[in-house]
Chains A and B, each alone.
Chain A
Amino acid sequence: FSTFGNSLKWEKNSLTYRIENYTPDMSVAEVDDSINRALQVWAKVTPLRFTRIYSGTADIMVSFGRQSHGDYYPFDGPSGTLAHAFAPGSGIGGDAHFDEDEMFTFSSNRGYVLFLVAAHEFGHSLGLSHSDDPGALMYPVYSYRDPSTFVLPRDDVNGIQSLYGSNPS
Chain B
Amino acid sequence: VPVSEVTVQDESFAENYLKNFFNMTEQKGPSTRRGISPLSKKLSEMQRFFGLHITGALDGETLEMMKKPRCGVPDGKIAR
Residues in chain A within 8 A of chain B (CB atoms): 2, 4-5, 8, 73, 75, 79-87, 99, 102, 112, 117, 120-121, 124, 129-130, 132, 134, 140-142
Contacts and interface: CB of A to CB of B under 8 A. Distances in A.
Contacts, number: 66
Classify the secondary structure of A's interface with B. loop
Interface residues of B, number: 17
Contacts of A140: 21, 70-71, 73, 75
Q: In terms of DSSP, what is the predominant structure of the interface of chain B?
A: loop
A112 B76 contact: no
Contacts of B75: 129-130, 140
A112 B78 CA distance: 25
Nearest to A92: B79
B49 A132 contact: yes
B69 interface: yes
Interface in B43-78: 49-51, 65, 67-73, 75-78
Contact of A142 (B21, B69, B73, B78): B69
Contacts of A141: 50, 65, 68-70
